[in-house]
Structure 1
Amino acid sequence: MKQFISVLIILWSLLLYSFVVQSQSQDSISVTKTEINLDTLSTSASDVVKTLEEKLNPPDVSEIVSFTKIFWALVFIAIGYFIIRFLTRTIEIWSEKSPDRRVKGKAIVPVVKIICWMVIGYLIVRGIFRPPVESLIAFGASIGVAVGFAAQDILKNIFGGFVILIDRPFKIGDKIEVGSTYGEVLDMSLRSTRIHTADDSLVTVPNGELMNQSISNSNSGETNCQVVAEIYLPITIDTHKVRKIATEVAKVSKYIYLVKPIAVIFVNDIKHDKLCYKMRLKAYVMDIRFEFAFKSELTENVIKELLESNILSSENSI
């Protein structure tokens, strides 16, 4: 319902703009004809002004809005709501059958919602209420001022939603990081974006805030993504043996995506006031939903292998 209201506001603005342009064009033609009549019939200027004022005088709102029209508008909204729910649910079920489908299929869900709500809004405005140009201009002008002051944040989020859909810094199914929030994009609407985090939380971020923050995308529409497991090791450890063990552990994982390379990097760091190595094991997972399981598996199995090989012991561990 929030999406319908948002789309209806935008649709109303677009219709208002088109009708204003049309009205201005018609007024120009009318004035031209009136000027011709002035030359031919010697009509006074006061009569022309009075005629224009009467023409632009909007009719009563009661002539446009009635109980029957409101009833059918609600019927259209209800039918449209269930149709959109059915379409989006069908796309989601089809997308979940494989990782490739999930990334590509869910990306079109926001577009389907917007198009459907715009069609429903157009049918209601132009098909049921059918307001004349004068009423649309008068009503739109008064409502536009109120909406502009009362719903600035909503309009900012709606504008941000359109910018995201056009610029496409991420899509549904991508793993993104916004501020301190990192997770999978589950849903995108005109007002907000929902992110599923590693601790099974659903974070809703307004689109207006997304426009003003840097966004890190882990997979950019692909089903695979890079996973980095970090392990602190003593400075005296044999890095060559550790690199070999870490690489073998990553290769035998059931989540590994072997098409892309495996990298093991050592950097100096300070941990508990001691100089040590921070090993960063970088590998790719075949499905982004296996990211956290893969990271946990790498960390556990590397430490286990190092202990069994006597390269790492409880005495020299960090």
Structure 2
Amino acid sequence: MKKISLIIYGLLLSLAGICQEVDSLANLTQGNGLKQVTDDAPNLSEIFSVSKIIWSIIFLVIGYFVIRIITKVLELIAERSTTYRITLKGFVPIVRILSWVILITIIIAGIFRPPAAAIVTLSASIGVAVGFAAQDILKNIFGGIVILFDRPFVVGDKIEVGDYYGEVVNIGLRSTRIVTPDDSLVSIPNSEIMNSSVSNSNNGEANCQVVAEIYLPVDIDTMKVRAIAIQAAQVSKQIYLNKPITVLFFNEVKDRKSYLKMRLKAYVSDIRGEFSFKSEMTELVMSALFEHQLISKADFE
């Protein structure tokens, strides 16, 4: 509430500054004997007339719905194609912000048409007010602009920031929203993202690497296990076969017992199927190992 009060106070100072600027222009022109210019100088009531305010509100309402329709259409088109979904969704935040910039520019330059001196005064006063009361907001806005143009990730990517991992569903000027694997919507301030390391699982592509880990007895036949694991990944409908399947083995000690940890790395065709693909690979591999009697229940007791 304190920040909001300071911003409102700054805006009031801005309006007062505009009035003073118009008066000073009038006095200046009178002093130079240019009375005709003084008569033509717009006053505050002319700039913010009732009709102009009504028209600006109409434009804002219409623009709001038009921007929503455009972004919704882009999102619907993107959802119909796995290949181009992430590319199209990456343009949605840029289209939204550019549309608002164009709309506000039309309202200011086309409807209100304030004099240049009034714009300078208003900008300076707002700059002082916002800079004093909304430093965190400015950091987030700057971070959002950098994210949109530097593109470390786009809408549709799977990223990890701090303790959160999930799909990016919205990149705003204040925060970035991601959906975690348990369907929780998390809003992360853009300034925090700018100051943190960001891990991107797919980097704008529809596919990503999935790793399934399985603990096995140390004396198991790794050649047979590798062949079974690769076959299990290949038979899945979600597999992306344009990238390699890798099987690695590591020796680990767990609960004072030595195990062989197998890591099966494969690529899922649609990143949204990441966890179901991981579960499917694990189930297929375990089922095949039991079927070929390479492992038994006693190995895990």
Shared fold (TM-score, shorter chain, > 0.5): yes
The corresponding residue for 1:119 is 102
1:98 maps to 2:77: no
Question: SS at 1:255's partner residue?
Answer: coil
Q: Label 1:61 to 1:273 Cα distance change in 2 as closer, same or farther (>3 A).
A: farther
Q: 2: CA distance between counterparts of 1:280 and 1:232? A: 9
Displacement after TM superposition at 1:317 (Å): 1.8
Deviates more, 1:229-238 or 1:213-222: 229-238
Match of 1:206 in 2: 189
Match of 1:245 among 211, 217, 228: 228
**Which of 29, 35, 48 is 1:65 aligned to?**
48
**Alignment pair present for 1:149 and 2:135:** no
Number of the residue aligned with 1:43: none
Query: C-alpha deviations, 1:158-183, integer Å up to 9, x for none?
Result: 11111112211111111111112111
Q: For 2:83, give the aligned amino acid.
A: D
| 8 Å Cα contact 1:161-1:189 kept in structure 2 | yes
Distance 2:260 2:142 in 1: 47
What's 2:201 paired with? Answer: 218
Amino acid at match of 2:193: L
Three-state SS of the structure 2 residue aligned to 1:173 is: coil
* Structure 1, unaligned runs of 5 or more: 1-46
Aligned to 1:270: 253
2:288 to 290, 295, 305: 305
- Structure 1 window deviating more from structure 2 (308-317 vs 119-128): it is 308-317
Match of 2:262 among 245, 255, 279: 279
Deviation of residue 72 (structure 1)? 1.5
Give the superposition deviation at 1:60. Answer: 5.2
Aligned length: 268
Amino acid at match of 1:192: S
Tell me if 1:174 matches 2:180: no
Give every structure 1 segment of 4 or more consecutive aligned residues whose post-TM-superposition deviation is greater than 4 Å: none
> Which among 86, 101, 113 is matched to residue 130 of structure 1?
113
Equivalent AA in structure 2 for residue 162 of structure 1: I
Moved more, 82-91 or 94-103: 94-103
1:162 to 123, 132, 145: 145
| Percent identical residues | 57
Equivalent residue, structure 2, for 1:289: 272
Q: Does the CA contact (< 8 Å) of 1:256 and 1:283 recur in 2?
A: yes
In the aligned structure 1, how far is the partner of 2:50 from the partner of 2:131? 28
How many angstroms apart in 1 are the aligned matches of 2:234 and 2:204? 24
Q: Say if 1:263 and 1:283, in contact at 8 Å, map to a contact too.
A: yes
Contact residue 61 and residue 135 of structure 1 kept, 8 A? no
Equivalent residue number for residue 88 of structure 1: 71
| Secondary structure of the structure 2 residue equivalent to 1:221 | coil
Is 1:108 the counterpart of 2:91 in the alignment?
yes
Secondary structure of 2:83's aligned partner = helix
Residue matched to 1:32: none
1:113 and 1:258 mapped to 2: Cα distance?
A: 36
* Alpha-carbon distance change, 59 to 149 in structure 1, aligned in 2, over 3 angstroms: farther
SS of the residue aligned with 1:73?
helix
Q: Distance in 2 between matches of 1:165 and 1:192?
A: 12
When the two structures are superposed, what TM-score results if normalisation uses the length of structure 1? Answer: 0.79
Shift of 1:191: 1.6
CA distance in 2, matches of 1:265, 1:125: 62
Residue 231 of structure 1 aligns to a residue whose secondary structure is strand
2:219 paired residue number: 236
Q: Distance in 2 between matches of 1:307 and 1:192?
A: 48
1:195 alignment partner, SS class: strand
CA distance, structure 1, for counterparts of residue 97 and residue 187 of structure 2: 19
CA distance in 2, matches of 1:70, 1:114: 23
Unaligned runs of 5+ in 2: 1-27
